[in-house]
Amino acid sequence: MSKAESERNIQVQMSTHIELAELKDNVVNYKEALDHYKEFSALYKKQTAQKTQMLEDSVSGLQTEVQASYDSIHQKNTEIKQKESAIDSLTTEQLQSELAIKDLELENNKLALEIEASQNRRNILLFVLAVAFLIVLFIGRGYFMKRRGVRILRQKNYEIIMEKQKSDRLLMNILPEKIAEELKEFNKTTPHKHDMATVMFTDFKGFTKYSEKHSPEELVKLVDHYFKGFDKIVEKYHIEKIKTIGDAYMCVAGIPEQQENHAANMIRAAFEFRDFVNETAREKQKQNLPFLEMRVGIHSGPLVAGVVGHHKFSYDVWGDTVNIAARMEHAGEPGKINVSETVYQQVQKDFSFDYRGELEAKNKGKMKMYFVQEVS
């Protein structure tokens, strides 16, 4: 007990007093038991007072702590509210910022889409322009190629036309126009029989001796001079030149187209032949150069005319009329125009004649011949 009292251990003291009280009560020592109960009660009260004080102190401390906690909690709540407010504010600003960012992103995306669309439109426009340019380029190239082709084609057509004209001229020089057209159209010609036409032969007296004394160049030059002059004359009278054989010149009037005055036209052409030869002779005499004299023979009658040859065409005539005309030339005299009885009968009213009588014609016997004097 003393130890518990020294240590002020009320609990132990109380426990001891209650035990002593019960012990005293058991031995019927009530007085001591009651004392111990009193001591217990006093200790109990003291303990209760202490506990109450302690409880009050604890409650007070708890209240203080609670108040402090409340204050702390209030402070914390205030801080939390401030923080929440700040957070709310921050969150609002953040949200606004995020919304602004989202809006900005949307704007950026929209702008990017617009830019992309613009670029796409630009690319499409560039593509369209490129395609259009290529189309224009191809069209232009095609146009210029077409123009170049047309120009070349025109040039070729012109060349073909010129060559054709040249070919036609050459063909016309070889063949009568009617025969040439027939040949071009059908690639062939049909021989034609003419009931009456006039044939003329000419040749130069002493041509063989002349050729022996002059060079081939001089000979060809002289013959070319005469025959060119004859060509102009027969063209004037619509007479067909048939051919030349050496110094001989052969032509026919009345073919391929009929002529009413074919014999008279041939005589007029013959006079111009003679005048051309005589004029050339006078010029040669003035230069003390040798000259040639011409014989002319003319006969009228039926003959056949046609084209012979395949690559080198030749328009020719056949028949006894041709042979007799050659005999008229052979039987003639230089500077004279010798004609047959048939020619005389056709043109006796248009010209003056000198009857020569019946003269021998090679392989033909005697034939009447006339020199034409002049145009009446």
Tokens of 136: 């224009």
Tokens of 189: 């010609």
Tell me: the pLDDT tens digits for 178-210? Answer: 776 766 676 667 788 999 999 999 999 888 888
128-144: average pLDDT: 76
Tell me: the pLDDT tens digits for 320-354? Answer: 999 999 999 999 999 999 999 999 999 999 999 99
pLDDT at position 153 is: 73
Is residue 19 situated within a structural domain? yes
pLDDT at position 298 is: 97
Q: How confident is the model at residue 110 (pLDDT cuts 50, 70, 90)?
A: confident
Residue 82 vs residue 369, higher pLDDT: 369
Question: Which position has the token pair 């130890």?
Answer: 3
Tell me: the pLDDT tens digits for 72-99? Answer: 767 777 776 776 666 566 566 666 676 7
Is residue 287 situated within a structural domain? yes
335, 199: one domain: yes
Tell me: the pLDDT tens digits for 283-322? Answer: 988 988 878 899 999 999 999 998 887 767 788 899 999 9
Whole domain around residue 207: which residue ranges?
189-375
239, 161: one domain: no
pLDDT at position 361 is: 85
65, 208: one domain: no
pLDDT at position 163 is: 74
10, 92: one domain: yes
Total Cβ atoms within 10 A of residue 231: 15
Q: From residue 234, how far is each of 185, 327, 330 by CA, in Å?
A: 27, 21, 21
Please, are residues 339 and 369 in contact by the beta-carbon 8 Å criterion? yes
Is residue 208 situated within a structural domain? yes
- Report the C-alpha gap between 33 and 15 in whole angstroms: 13
Domain end point (choices 174, 209, 230): 174
Q: Which residues contact 327 (CB under 8 A, 6 or more apart)?
A: 297, 299, 361, 362, 363, 364, 367
pLDDT at position 69 is: 63
pLDDT at position 27 is: 57
Residues, the chain = 376
Is residue 181 situated within a structural domain? no
Is residue 304 situated within a structural domain? yes
Domain end point (choices 174, 209, 239): 174
- Report the C-alpha gap between 103 and 208 in whole angstroms: 123
Tokens of 126: 């560039």
DSSP 29: -
> What share of residues in the chain are helix, strand, coil (percent, to 5)?
65, 20, 15
Tell me: the pLDDT tens digits for 47-62? Answer: 676 666 665 666 566 5
Q: How confident is the model at residue 8 (pLDDT cuts 50, 70, 90)?
A: low
pLDDT at position 195 is: 93
197, 334: one domain: yes
Which region among 147-156, 237-246, 296-305, 354-363 has the lowest average model confidence (pLDDT)?
Answer: 147-156
Mean pLDDT rounded to a whole number for the chain: 80
Residue 108 has pLDDT above 60, yes or no: yes
Secondary element (H or E) of residue 97: helix 30-174
- Report the C-alpha gap between 314 and 304 in whole angstroms: 14
CATH of the domain at 328: 3.30.70.1230
Is residue 279 situated within a structural domain? yes
Total number of domains constituting the chain: 2
Please, are residues 211 and 246 in contact by the beta-carbon 8 Å criterion? no
CB neighbour burial string for 114-151, b if at least 16 within 10 angstroms, e if fewer? eeeeeeeeeeeeeeeeeeeeeeeeeeeeeeeeeeeeee
pLDDT at position 106 is: 73
- Report the C-alpha gap between 171 and 193 in whole angstroms: 22
Q: How confident is the model at residue 1 (pLDDT cuts 50, 70, 90)?
A: low
Instruction: Give the chain's count of helices (H) and strands (E).
Output: 9, 8
150, 89: one domain: yes
Which region among 1-10, 191-200, 361-370 has the lowest average model confidence (pLDDT)?
Answer: 1-10
CB neighbour burial string for 6-36, b if at least 16 within 10 angstroms, e if fewer? eeeebeebbebbbebbeebeeeeeeeebeeb
35-51: average pLDDT: 70
pLDDT at position 232 is: 95
Residue 305 vs residue 66, higher pLDDT: 305
Q: Which residues contact 34 (CB under 8 A, 6 or more apart)?
A: 21
**pTM for this prediction:** 0.58
What share of the chain in percent tops pLDDT 70? 72
